[in-house]
Amino acid sequence: MYTKTFIASVAALPLTIVGSILKYVYQDWEFVKWIVVAVLIDTFVSMVKHWILCDFNSEEFWQKLAKKVFVYIALLILSNLLTYSTVNGHTVEATTLFGEYICWAMLLREAISIIENSNAIFPWCPIWLLKRLKDYNEKGEYIKNKENAMQHDPEQNMEN
């Protein structure tokens, strides 16, 4: 009887330490479920698209997937750091919002990629909407005309 208690105590200590350390790495496991589902759907739709286009390259596929997983893990840890870090015992609202923005941006990027890839398989999305999504993905905002675009692009203004 004492042996089982001793074994349980010895096993519980490392698990407690890991659990305590893990909160500094990541806490929002509910979001992880959502982003994993989005990545899986995007990966599957992308594979089908490349299979239909007959340009599927398994080596390139695994490299891109590994890069995406690595970057997303790093971004999730960064979002956790920004969201839950404290200064004088309080979280800072600005960093909390930025941490949430990182998660929102990853999920939105996956959604845009799913729409683009599925539209390449079967054109269901209007061209104007796809263009707006691509513009948003590249610029972070949609600019309607060129005059406003010049106001938003400081490098272009310097050349003029």
The DSSP secondary structure of 18-49, one letter per residue, reads: HHHHHHHH---HHHHHHHHHHHHHHHHHHHHH
Residue 24 has pLDDT above 60, yes or no: yes
Residue 52 has pLDDT above 80, yes or no: yes
Domain boundaries, the chain: 23-125, 136-160
Tokens coding 68 = 């995406």
Looking at every residue in the chain, the average pLDDT score rounds to: 84
What are 113-142's pLDDT values in tens digits?
Answer: 999 999 999 999 998 888 888 787 677 666
Q: What percent of the chain has pLDDT over 90?
A: 52
Residue 159 has pLDDT above 60, yes or no: no
Helix (H) / strand (E) element for 147: namely helix 146-152
Q: What average pLDDT does range 19-41 have in this prediction?
A: 89
- What's the rounded Cα separation, in Å, for the pair 80 and 82? 5
Cα–Cα–Cα angle for 77, 136, 139, rounded to 5 degrees: 80
Are the C-beta atoms of residues 49 and 71 closer than 8 Å to each other?
A: no
Residue 157 has pLDDT above 50, yes or no: no
Predicted TM-score (pTM) of this structure: 0.74
Residue 156 has pLDDT above 50, yes or no: no
Closest of 155, 128, 125 to residue 144, by C-alpha: 128
